[in-house]
Structures are given as structure tokens and as C-alpha cells.
């Protein structure tokens, strides 16, 4: 039997014995129980929201840990292509640099790169964490 059920049972008994003071106290207890239930529901919703935020932050941390810089570019472990360092630094977006009419260019921010290199690997002597 839950709290609200218990309060309802006591309320019935108070009515049966015709005790107005007890009935008033039970009504107050019922009101407080409803408020606590609503507060509990809000806290549960906040927990879900915070758990979702934790998942997003963990995914972002995992992504950041998979990245490194070398030369002018950002690389991701296992990805053979270079990504735009500006887009990572400014927007935390991984955008592959593509060959365009003006040379190597970021399709997002349009930065043109004079050189290009494939993923040299995290173990390369010039690779550093992002």
C-alpha cells in the first residue's frame, strides 16, 4: 500500500468516526504527499536530463581522445583523411579537407590549405594531442 492509499484509508476512518480534526490533518497530509510526489517526479526528470548530458559529454570526451594534431591538420585514429583544424577549434566539428578548384579546401569554412597530408598516425614524432 502506497502513501496516498494509506492516507485515503485514514481519511475514510476519520470520516467514519466523525473526527473533523483528524480529517483536517489527513487532508493536510494528503496535500503534502501530492506535493512530494510532484517534486519527486521533477527530480526524476532532472536525473534523466543529467544522465543524457553525461552521455553527450562522455561521447565528446571519447571523440576528443581519438584526435591528434600533426602539421596543419587534425586527425582521428583510424581515419586516413585530414580534418580542418579551424572547424575543430571553433565549432568542434570534424570536417574532412577535400580537393577543390583552388586546392585543398574545407567544405565548411572554405579555408584553403597549401599542403595536404594523409594520417601520419598518433605515433608519429610530430603528432600531439588536440
Cα distance between residue 34 and residue 50, in whole Å: 24
List the one residue from 8, 25, 108, 127 that touches Zn ion (CB under 5 A): 108
In this structure, are residues 83 and 95 in contact, taking their beta carbons and an 8 Å threshold?
yes
Scan for cell 566539428, then name that residue. Answer: 93
List the one residue from 48, 109, 112, 128 that touches Zn ion (CB under 5 A): 109
Q: How far is the CB of 35 from Zn ion (least distance, A)?
A: 52
Site string for Zn ion, 56-95 (x = CB under 5 A): ----------------------------x-xx-------x
CA distances from 128 to 23, 57, 87, 96 (A): 72, 22, 18, 19
Q: How far is the CB of 72 from Zn ion (least distance, A)?
A: 12
Cα distance between residue 75 and residue 97, in whole Å: 11
Task: Name the site residues for Zn ion (rule: CB under 5 A).
Answer: 84, 86-87, 95, 106, 108-109
Amino acid at each position: 500500500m502506497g502513501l496516498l492509499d494509506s492516507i485515503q484509508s485514514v481519511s475514510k476512518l476519520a470520516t467514519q468516526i466523525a473526527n473533523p480534526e483528524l480529517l483536517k490533518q489527513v487532508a493536510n497530509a494528503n496535500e503534502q504527499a501530492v506535493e512530494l510526489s510532484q517534486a519527486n517526479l521533477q527530480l526524476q526528470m532532472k536525473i534523466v536530463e543529467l544522465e543524457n548530458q553525461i552521455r553527450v559529454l562522455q561521447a565528446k570526451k571519447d571523440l576528443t581522445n581519438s584526435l591528434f594534431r600533426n602539421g596543419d591538420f587534425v586527425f582521428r585514429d583510424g581515419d586516413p583523411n585530414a580534418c580542418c583544424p579551424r572547424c575543430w577549434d571553433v565549432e568542434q566539428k570534424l570536417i574532412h579537407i577535400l580537393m577543390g578548384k583552388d586546392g585543398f579546401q574545407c567544405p565548411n569554412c572554405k579555408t584553403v590549405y597549401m599542403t595536404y597530408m594523409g594520417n601520419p598516425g598518433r605515433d608519429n614524432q610530430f603528432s600531439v594531442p588536440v
